[in-house]
Amino acid sequence: MKTRAVGPIVRTARPLDKAPLMEFISRIWGGHDYIPKVWDDWMHEPGAKTFVVEADGRPVGMNRVKFQVDGTAWLEGARIHPEFRGKGLASLLGENSIRVAAKRGVTTMRLVSNVRNGSARRQVARMRFAEIARMSVYNPKRPSRPGSKLAVRIASASDISRILRLAVASEEFRIGGGVFWDGFRAISINEKTVRTLVKERRALVSGDAVAFFKRGAEGDEPFTQIGFACGDYNGVRNLIRHIFRTERGKRVLRYLNAPTGSPLAGFAKRAGLNHWSTFILFQRKTPNG
Protein backbone atom coordinates (compact mmCIF):
# COMPACT_ATOMS: atom_id res chain seq x y z
CA MET A 1 0.00 0.00 0.00
CA LYS A 2 1.42 3.36 -1.03
CA THR A 3 1.50 6.20 1.49
CA ARG A 4 0.57 9.64 0.27
CA ALA A 5 3.26 12.27 0.49
CA VAL A 6 2.39 14.98 2.97
CA GLY A 7 2.97 18.51 1.75
CA PRO A 8 4.34 21.39 3.79
CA ILE A 9 2.20 22.47 6.75
CA VAL A 10 1.93 25.97 8.24
CA ARG A 11 1.05 26.15 11.93
CA THR A 12 1.40 28.40 14.95
CA ALA A 13 4.94 28.44 16.35
CA ARG A 14 5.71 26.70 19.62
CA PRO A 15 8.59 27.25 22.08
CA LEU A 16 10.03 23.84 21.13
CA ASP A 17 10.53 25.09 17.56
CA LYS A 18 13.33 27.36 18.73
CA ALA A 19 16.16 24.81 18.59
CA PRO A 20 15.61 23.48 15.04
CA LEU A 21 14.94 26.96 13.65
CA MET A 22 17.87 28.69 15.34
CA GLU A 23 20.17 25.91 14.14
CA PHE A 24 20.14 27.54 10.69
CA ILE A 25 18.95 31.07 11.53
CA SER A 26 21.93 31.63 13.83
CA ARG A 27 24.23 31.32 10.79
CA ILE A 28 22.41 33.91 8.66
CA TRP A 29 24.28 37.18 8.01
CA GLY A 30 27.41 35.90 9.68
CA GLY A 31 25.63 35.16 12.94
CA HIS A 32 24.13 38.66 13.28
CA ASP A 33 20.47 37.84 12.65
CA TYR A 34 18.21 39.46 15.23
CA ILE A 35 15.70 36.56 15.42
CA PRO A 36 17.60 34.57 18.12
CA LYS A 37 17.54 37.68 20.32
CA VAL A 38 13.79 38.21 20.11
CA TRP A 39 12.34 34.69 19.73
CA ASP A 40 11.54 34.20 23.42
CA ASP A 41 9.80 37.59 23.61
CA TRP A 42 7.86 36.84 20.43
CA MET A 43 6.46 33.68 21.99
CA HIS A 44 4.71 35.75 24.67
CA GLU A 45 3.96 39.06 22.95
CA PRO A 46 0.25 39.87 22.58
CA GLY A 47 -1.00 41.40 19.35
CA ALA A 48 1.17 39.23 17.12
CA LYS A 49 1.38 35.68 15.80
CA THR A 50 4.46 33.69 14.82
CA PHE A 51 4.11 30.83 12.34
CA VAL A 52 6.25 27.87 11.35
CA VAL A 53 6.25 25.85 8.15
CA GLU A 54 7.03 22.14 8.43
CA ALA A 55 8.47 20.07 5.61
CA ASP A 56 9.67 16.48 5.84
CA GLY A 57 8.22 16.47 9.35
CA ARG A 58 10.41 19.24 10.78
CA PRO A 59 10.31 23.04 11.11
CA VAL A 60 12.19 24.57 8.19
CA GLY A 61 10.88 28.12 8.11
CA MET A 62 9.04 30.84 9.99
CA ASN A 63 7.47 34.26 9.79
CA ARG A 64 5.47 36.62 11.98
CA VAL A 65 2.54 39.01 11.64
CA LYS A 66 2.16 41.90 14.08
CA PHE A 67 -1.11 43.83 14.40
CA GLN A 68 -0.35 47.52 14.75
CA VAL A 69 -2.00 50.47 16.45
CA ASP A 70 -2.87 52.06 13.07
CA GLY A 71 -4.93 49.04 12.02
CA THR A 72 -2.34 47.66 9.59
CA ALA A 73 -0.52 44.34 9.91
CA TRP A 74 3.25 44.02 9.62
CA LEU A 75 5.00 40.98 8.13
CA GLU A 76 8.47 40.22 9.46
CA GLY A 77 10.93 37.51 10.43
CA ALA A 78 10.57 35.41 7.27
CA ARG A 79 13.32 32.77 7.28
CA ILE A 80 13.62 29.56 5.26
CA HIS A 81 16.21 26.80 5.68
CA PRO A 82 18.75 26.98 2.81
CA GLU A 83 17.92 23.41 1.73
CA PHE A 84 14.24 24.29 1.31
CA ARG A 85 14.43 27.62 -0.49
CA GLY A 86 12.87 27.98 -3.92
CA LYS A 87 9.99 25.63 -3.03
CA GLY A 88 7.34 28.27 -2.36
CA LEU A 89 7.48 28.00 1.42
CA ALA A 90 7.99 31.72 2.00
CA SER A 91 4.89 32.45 -0.09
CA LEU A 92 2.98 29.80 1.83
CA LEU A 93 3.86 31.50 5.11
CA GLY A 94 3.10 34.95 3.75
CA GLU A 95 -0.30 34.07 2.30
CA ASN A 96 -1.22 32.34 5.55
CA SER A 97 -0.40 35.52 7.49
CA ILE A 98 -2.45 37.63 5.07
CA ARG A 99 -5.48 35.35 5.57
CA VAL A 100 -5.07 35.52 9.35
CA ALA A 101 -4.87 39.32 9.21
CA ALA A 102 -7.89 39.58 6.90
CA LYS A 103 -9.97 37.53 9.34
CA ARG A 104 -9.18 40.17 11.95
CA GLY A 105 -10.44 42.92 9.67
CA VAL A 106 -7.04 44.20 8.51
CA THR A 107 -7.11 45.87 5.08
CA THR A 108 -3.42 46.82 4.65
CA MET A 109 -0.30 44.68 5.01
CA ARG A 110 3.21 46.11 5.05
CA LEU A 111 6.76 44.82 5.19
CA VAL A 112 10.29 46.10 4.68
CA SER A 113 13.30 44.71 2.87
CA ASN A 114 16.87 45.85 2.46
CA VAL A 115 17.48 47.37 -0.95
CA ARG A 116 20.41 44.95 -1.46
CA ASN A 117 18.35 41.82 -0.76
CA GLY A 118 17.38 40.89 -4.31
CA SER A 119 15.94 37.47 -3.46
CA ALA A 120 13.63 38.98 -0.83
CA ARG A 121 12.46 41.64 -3.28
CA ARG A 122 11.62 38.99 -5.88
CA GLN A 123 9.69 37.04 -3.27
CA VAL A 124 7.79 40.15 -2.24
CA ALA A 125 6.88 40.85 -5.88
CA ARG A 126 5.53 37.31 -6.28
CA MET A 127 3.22 38.01 -3.34
CA ARG A 128 1.92 41.16 -5.12
CA PHE A 129 3.35 43.70 -2.69
CA ALA A 130 4.13 47.10 -4.24
CA GLU A 131 6.94 49.48 -3.28
CA ILE A 132 5.57 52.68 -1.71
CA ALA A 133 8.70 54.32 -0.26
CA ARG A 134 12.41 54.01 0.42
CA MET A 135 13.96 54.76 3.76
CA SER A 136 17.58 55.78 4.25
CA VAL A 137 19.03 55.14 7.69
CA TYR A 138 21.82 57.33 9.06
CA ASN A 139 23.86 57.30 12.24
CA PRO A 140 25.99 60.09 13.70
CA LYS A 141 29.77 59.86 13.60
CA ARG A 142 30.19 61.24 17.10
CA PRO A 143 28.14 62.26 20.16
CA SER A 144 25.85 65.18 19.36
CA ARG A 145 26.66 68.71 20.40
CA PRO A 146 23.99 70.86 21.98
CA GLY A 147 21.76 72.50 19.39
CA SER A 148 20.73 76.12 19.06
CA LYS A 149 19.06 78.12 21.80
CA LEU A 150 15.67 77.22 20.30
CA ALA A 151 13.72 75.39 23.00
CA VAL A 152 13.00 71.67 22.77
CA ARG A 153 10.05 70.32 24.69
CA ILE A 154 7.97 67.18 24.97
CA ALA A 155 4.72 67.61 23.07
CA SER A 156 1.46 67.84 24.99
CA ALA A 157 -2.15 67.09 24.05
CA SER A 158 -2.61 70.71 23.00
CA ASP A 159 0.07 70.19 20.30
CA ILE A 160 -1.61 67.25 18.57
CA SER A 161 -3.51 69.19 15.89
CA ARG A 162 -0.48 71.31 15.03
CA ILE A 163 1.85 68.29 14.92
CA LEU A 164 -0.54 66.49 12.59
CA ARG A 165 -0.77 69.51 10.28
CA LEU A 166 3.02 69.87 10.16
CA ALA A 167 3.54 66.16 9.49
CA VAL A 168 0.87 65.68 6.82
CA ALA A 169 1.95 68.81 4.92
CA SER A 170 5.62 67.77 4.87
CA GLU A 171 7.68 66.29 2.05
CA GLU A 172 8.79 63.59 4.51
CA PHE A 173 5.16 62.46 4.79
CA ARG A 174 4.58 62.52 1.02
CA ILE A 175 7.82 60.84 -0.03
CA GLY A 176 7.91 58.44 2.90
CA GLY A 177 4.52 56.81 2.43
CA GLY A 178 2.83 58.72 5.26
CA VAL A 179 4.50 56.68 8.02
CA PHE A 180 6.86 56.99 10.96
CA TRP A 181 9.28 54.23 11.92
CA ASP A 182 8.95 52.45 15.24
CA GLY A 183 12.07 50.33 15.27
CA PHE A 184 11.98 48.70 11.84
CA ARG A 185 8.19 48.75 11.54
CA ALA A 186 6.30 51.48 9.70
CA ILE A 187 3.15 52.94 11.27
CA SER A 188 0.74 55.38 9.60
CA ILE A 189 0.80 58.96 10.83
CA ASN A 190 -2.75 59.87 11.78
CA GLU A 191 -4.54 61.44 14.72
CA LYS A 192 -4.71 58.18 16.66
CA THR A 193 -1.01 57.39 16.32
CA VAL A 194 0.06 60.96 17.07
CA ARG A 195 -2.06 60.86 20.23
CA THR A 196 -0.32 57.63 21.22
CA LEU A 197 3.14 59.13 20.63
CA VAL A 198 2.25 62.21 22.69
CA LYS A 199 0.87 60.04 25.49
CA GLU A 200 4.08 57.97 25.50
CA ARG A 201 6.17 61.18 25.54
CA ARG A 202 7.84 60.22 22.26
CA ALA A 203 6.97 63.38 20.31
CA LEU A 204 9.17 66.47 20.62
CA VAL A 205 8.67 69.95 19.20
CA SER A 206 11.11 72.79 18.61
CA GLY A 207 9.83 75.93 16.92
CA ASP A 208 8.08 74.83 13.72
CA ALA A 209 9.59 71.33 13.75
CA VAL A 210 8.52 67.99 15.17
CA ALA A 211 10.23 64.64 15.70
CA PHE A 212 9.04 61.21 16.80
CA PHE A 213 11.61 59.04 18.55
CA LYS A 214 12.01 55.68 20.23
CA ARG A 215 14.37 54.38 22.89
CA GLY A 216 14.53 50.63 23.17
CA ALA A 217 16.70 47.56 22.79
CA GLU A 218 17.09 44.68 20.38
CA GLY A 219 18.25 41.87 22.57
CA ASP A 220 21.11 43.36 24.61
CA GLU A 221 21.74 46.28 22.21
CA PRO A 222 20.11 49.57 23.32
CA PHE A 223 19.21 52.07 20.63
CA THR A 224 17.78 55.54 20.13
CA GLN A 225 15.91 56.10 16.87
CA ILE A 226 14.39 59.17 15.24
CA GLY A 227 11.60 57.59 13.23
CA PHE A 228 10.23 60.80 11.69
CA ALA A 229 11.15 64.47 11.67
CA CYS A 230 10.00 67.45 9.64
CA GLY A 231 9.65 71.20 9.69
CA ASP A 232 11.90 74.23 9.99
CA TYR A 233 15.58 73.49 9.31
CA ASN A 234 16.88 74.97 12.58
CA GLY A 235 14.18 73.22 14.57
CA VAL A 236 14.90 69.85 12.96
CA ARG A 237 18.63 70.27 13.58
CA ASN A 238 17.93 71.14 17.19
CA LEU A 239 15.66 68.11 17.70
CA ILE A 240 18.16 65.68 16.18
CA ARG A 241 21.01 66.96 18.32
CA HIS A 242 18.82 66.93 21.42
CA ILE A 243 17.58 63.34 20.92
CA PHE A 244 21.00 61.95 20.02
CA ARG A 245 22.78 63.57 22.94
CA THR A 246 23.79 60.73 25.26
CA GLU A 247 25.70 60.34 28.49
CA ARG A 248 29.46 60.12 28.08
CA GLY A 249 30.64 56.53 27.82
CA LYS A 250 27.16 55.13 27.27
CA ARG A 251 27.03 52.75 24.29
CA VAL A 252 23.77 53.33 22.44
CA LEU A 253 23.12 52.71 18.76
CA ARG A 254 21.64 55.84 17.20
CA TYR A 255 19.59 55.95 14.02
CA LEU A 256 17.88 58.62 11.94
CA ASN A 257 15.26 57.28 9.52
CA ALA A 258 14.74 59.61 6.57
CA PRO A 259 12.70 59.02 3.41
CA THR A 260 15.16 58.74 0.54
CA GLY A 261 15.17 62.00 -1.43
CA SER A 262 13.41 63.98 1.30
CA PRO A 263 14.62 67.25 2.90
CA LEU A 264 15.45 65.24 6.03
CA ALA A 265 17.76 62.96 4.03
CA GLY A 266 19.41 66.05 2.58
CA PHE A 267 19.90 67.43 6.07
CA ALA A 268 21.50 64.16 7.21
CA LYS A 269 24.04 64.37 4.41
CA ARG A 270 24.87 68.02 5.10
CA ALA A 271 25.20 67.26 8.80
CA GLY A 272 27.81 64.60 8.03
CA LEU A 273 25.83 61.64 9.32
CA ASN A 274 26.93 58.24 8.05
CA HIS A 275 24.60 56.50 5.61
CA TRP A 276 24.09 53.07 7.18
CA SER A 277 21.62 51.38 4.84
CA THR A 278 18.52 51.81 2.67
CA PHE A 279 15.28 49.87 3.02
CA ILE A 280 12.20 49.54 0.83
CA LEU A 281 8.70 49.77 2.28
CA PHE A 282 6.17 47.49 0.55
CA GLN A 283 2.41 47.42 0.88
CA ARG A 284 -0.46 45.18 -0.20
CA LYS A 285 -4.19 45.22 0.36
CA THR A 286 -5.91 42.18 1.88
CA PRO A 287 -9.18 40.85 0.41
CA ASN A 288 -10.90 43.23 2.86
CA GLY A 289 -9.24 46.22 1.22
Q: Is pLDDT at 5 greater than 70 in this prediction?
A: no
How far apart CA 185 and CA 178 sit, in angstroms, is 13
Global confidence as pTM? 0.90
Question: Which is the CATH superfamily of the domain at 136-278?
Answer: Gcn5-related N-acetyltransferase (GNAT) (3.40.630.30)
The domain ranges of the chain are 9-106, 136-278
> How do residues 17-75 score in pLDDT, each as one tens digit?
999 999 999 988 777 888 999 999 999 999 999 999 999 899 999 999 999 999 999 99
| Range of lowest pLDDT (60-64, 115-119, 184-188, 258-262) | 115-119
- pLDDT band at residue 252 under the 50/70/90 scheme: confident
Q: Please determine whether the domains at 9-106 and 136-278 fall in the same fold group of CATH.
A: yes
On whether the CB atoms of residues 241 and 94 are closer than 8 A, the answer is no
Residue % of the chain over a pLDDT of 90: 77
| Average pLDDT value over all residues in the chain | 91
Q: What is the largest CA-CA distance in the chain?
A: 83
More confident call, 146 vs 40: 40
> How do residues 117-135 score in pLDDT, each as one tens digit?
888 888 899 999 999 999 9
Per-residue model confidence (pLDDT) at position 6: 65
Q: Which residues of 113-139 are buried (b: 16+ CB within 10 A; e: fewer)?
A: beeeeeebbebbeebebeebbbbbbbb
> How do residues 93-115 score in pLDDT, each as one tens digit?
999 999 999 999 999 999 999 99
Q: Which CATH code, of 3.40.190.10, 3.40.1030.10, 3.40.50.300, 3.40.630.30, is assigned to 9-106?
A: 3.40.630.30
More confident call, 1 vs 111: 111
Q: Looking at the chain, how many residues does it have?
A: 289
Of 274, 288, 284, which is closest to residue 132 (Cα–Cα)?
284
Full 3-state SS string of 42-55: HCCCCCEEEEEEEE
- pLDDT band at residue 280 under the 50/70/90 scheme: very high
How far apart CA 285 and CA 61 sit, in angstroms, is 24
Q: Is pLDDT at 1 greater than 50 in this prediction?
A: no
Per-residue model confidence (pLDDT) at position 131: 96
Q: Is pLDDT at 249 greater than 60 in this prediction?
A: no
Q: Is pLDDT at 174 greater than 70 in this prediction?
A: yes
The kind and range of the H/E element at 20 are helix 18-25
Cα distances (Å, whole numbers) of residue 165 to 19, 161, 177, 189, 212: 49, 6, 16, 11, 14
